[in-house]
A and B are shown apart, each in its own frame.
Chain A
Amino acid sequence: MEKTWNNKAWFMVLPVLVLVAFSAVIPLMTVVNYSVQDTFGNNEFFWAGTDWFLEVLESDRFWDALTRNLIFSAIILAIEIPLGIVIALNMPKKGIGVPICLVLMALPLLIPWNVVGTIWQVFGRVDIGLLGRAVASLGINYNYVQNPIDAWVTLIIMDVWHWTSLVVLLCYAGLVSIPDAYYQAAKIDGASRWSVFRYIQLPKMKRVLLIAFLLRFMDSFMIYTEPFVVTGGGPGNSTTFLSIDLVKMAIGQFDLGPAAALSIIYFLIILLLSWIFYTVMTTSDAQG
């Protein structure tokens, strides 16, 4: 068959290209531009090569923040994925309960990050917050402003509260696609509750779980607003994640070069890790 070339088609996608250029390519290239140059103001730039990258990679500050990010994401995934699965498994499959549960689950997802942060910032305060007061009245010494552990616990609970629903909804979508006949056959075959999960529900959820895993990883790895609003990166540097550090560097100290280099490294790390997860999970899928 002969291929028809239609140059008008290019014309049609032009608006999108322009949009993408302005929203993604140009800012990204600007960052690249900053990362390899130095400036002392006056719009004068000097070639800096890989200096900024080396500076970032050699600083403890970077590695500490990266470690915090990795630990935070690991904890978030370890809690939200199993919890999301358990909740999805226990959601009703028919009746009036379904829309009620779905709306309840969707609610946290509809709240903007900074609002979530503000809610929890107030909620957790020892002097006026409901949670803070309640925990304090139990005799536990809880103060997220001064105690790093408390700050972490607060951020983790907040993220779990905000984002577990996403995992739940994705898993639930996988679960409702399983025809009744599978559960019936499992009953006939005498399968235990665990076998039903292992051989029927989990395989059906595998794809959506992969998506949930990647989304939650990328999102938790890029966490910014919540710690910014609640802890401001403290106490000390205990909740200073890469994103917070980046903003401090770029806007607080106006170190545009290192900040740009960090941005690019940050971006590459996320890309690399997501790719690794995706590859590992899809190959095990093909084998299993």
Chain B
Amino acid sequence: MARIDLDHIRHAYGAKPKSEADYALKEVHHEWNDGGAYALLGPSGCGKTTLLNIISGLINPSEGRILFDGTDVTHLTTQQRNIAQVFQFPVIYDTMTVYDNLAFPLRNRRVPEAEVDRRVKEIIEMTGLGGWAKKTARGLTADQKQKISLGRGLVRSDVSAILFDEPLTVIDPEMKWVLRSQIKRLHKQFGFTMVYVTHDQTEALTFADKVVVMYDGQIVQIGTPAELFERPRHTFVGYFIGSPGMNVLPAEIDGARAAIGDQSIGLNFQPKIEAGAKTELGIRPEFISLGREGMPVAITKVEDIGRHKIVRARFADRLISIVVDEDGEIPAEPRVTFDPKAINIYADSWRVGEEA
């Protein structure tokens, strides 16, 4: 178990990166606390797998250093780093039995056979592969194979960290839930540092204490689920977290007021904007109230999703979403007000704070 520091890591797959766009990882400077459970969340192609492979030593970063507990491991092999990693697609040794597959990482490290047996049996029980232990792994279904893959990642008890790369993609929803809670339990029990990659926000939010959101080769925000929800540092986080995502509207900022189309909204702070920046106002659908007062909107659609209704409406020539309680009424001449505390202002997509 270890604290992992990523010191100004950049990575390009091509040999001679010329522009920023050639980097699959633009710049990652971050530390993962010892024993933390992190979820790495981001759309496909944003560099999550690349980052994991850099941590585990499967690829060497073009620039930057990696430290485990303060020791530079940048040039150490995967073996020496002692990391467990579960891949997105199942990897099994299909001439071996399920049991031998699970024992493989331990036997390679010369763990005594009695200990191997104890650990493997634990994993077999956890994954529910009991009946298959003695069978060759070849004929198994995709989700059984993925469980073996997952099991091989969990079977070692002495690892510095366990990295999961979308481990449950091919597993059915019910089993997903079971396995995810098993992983969480292992985390509580043994205190491994865990990094869990996913592009599913509920999975991320339920698994982790800290969610790391990546976008286009960068970490755009690290925070608790609540922080990500209330104060998205980047408009992407606003869109990506929450369902429906945050409303982001182009706005002219003038002192402590924001103008959207012909509507003017009072802010409770004065954003610090540099000249020439593209400015936007972000507000979550949950913090817009629909009623008889405020700014006029034209409702285009109402979706009932059980506890809430999602109202799609046209506001100052933009489409916005509003979350309304199930029994909340929708007036004939609807108007909206934005909760000033929940308004975020963005300059060139990044959230801006108050003028000093």
Contacts and interface: CB of A to CB of B under 8 A. Distances in A.
B60 interface: no
Given A187-B78, A189-B152, 8 more contacts: A184-B53, A185-B87, A188-B58, A188-B78, A188-B85, A189-B104, A189-B105, A288-B95
A195 B105 contact: no
A45 to B, nearest CB: 57
Contacts of B77: 187
Main secondary structure of the interface of A (DSSP, over half): helix
Contact of B89 (A181, A187, A192, A288): A181
A236 interface: no
Interface in B66-105: 77-79, 83-85, 87, 89, 91, 93-96, 104-105
A203 B108 contact: no
Contacts of A182: 91
B146 interface: no
Interface residues of A, number: 16
25 contacts: A179-B89, A181-B87, A182-B91, A184-B53, A184-B58, A184-B87, A185-B87, A187-B77, A187-B79, A188-B58, A188-B78, A188-B83, A188-B84, A188-B105, A188-B153, A189-B105, A189-B108, A189-B152, A190-B109, A191-B104, A191-B108, A192-B108, A199-B104, A203-B95, A288-B95
Nearest to B100: A199
A20 B354 CA distance: 88
Contact of A199 (B56, B84, B93): B93
A66 interface: no
Nearest to B163: A188
Interface string A166-207: 000000000000010110110111111001000110010000
Contacts of B149: 185
Q: Which residue of A185, A192, A199 has the most chain B CB atoms within 10 A of its CB atom?
A: A185
Contacts, number: 51
Contact of A188 (B56, B89, B95, B96): B56
B94 A190 contact: no
Contact of A203 (B53, B79, B84, B94): B94
A187 B79 CA distance: 7
Contacts of B104: 189, 191, 195, 199
Contacts of B108: 189-192, 195
A181 B83 CA distance: 16
Interface string A260-288: 00000000000000000000000000001
Interface of B: 53, 56-58, 77-79, 83-85, 87, 89, 91, 93-96, 104-105, 108-109, 136, 149, 152-153
A266 to B, nearest CB: 37
Contacts of B95: 199, 203, 288
Interface of A: 179, 181-182, 184-185, 187-192, 195, 199-200, 203, 288
B96 A187 contact: no
A190 to B, nearest CB: 4
Contacts of A179: 89
Contacts of A203: 93-95
Nearest to A185: B91
B154 to A, nearest CB: 12
A198 to B, nearest CB: 9
A191 B93 CA distance: 11
Contacts of A199: 93, 95-96, 104
A181 B79 contact: no
B103 to A, nearest CB: 10
B193 to A, nearest CB: 16
Nearest to B95: A203
A195 B101 CA distance: 12
A185 B148 CA distance: 12
Contacts of A191: 104, 108
Contacts of A184: 53, 58, 85, 87, 91
Contacts of A190: 79, 105, 108-109
Contacts of B85: 184-185, 188
Instruction: Please list the 3 inter-chain residue pairs (A to B) with the smallest Cβ-Cβ separation, ordered nearest first.
Output: A185-B91, A190-B108, A189-B105
Nearest to A190: B108
A2 B149 CA distance: 47
A108 to B, nearest CB: 33
A61 to B, nearest CB: 46
Contacts of B91: 181-182, 184-185
Contact of B93 (A187, A192, A200): A200
A184 B53 CA distance: 9
A188 B104 CA distance: 11
A181 B152 CA distance: 14
A183 to B, nearest CB: 9
A206 B44 CA distance: 35
Contacts of B58: 184, 187-188
B195 to A, nearest CB: 14
B112 to A, nearest CB: 16
Contacts of B109: 190
A179 B152 CA distance: 18
A191 B79 CA distance: 9
A146 B57 CA distance: 60
B313 to A, nearest CB: 46
A191 B105 CA distance: 7
Contacts of A185: 85, 87, 91, 149, 152
A188 B153 CA distance: 9
Nearest to B53: A184
Contacts of A181: 87, 89, 91
Nearest to B58: A184
Contacts of B93: 199-200, 203
A203 to B, nearest CB: 5
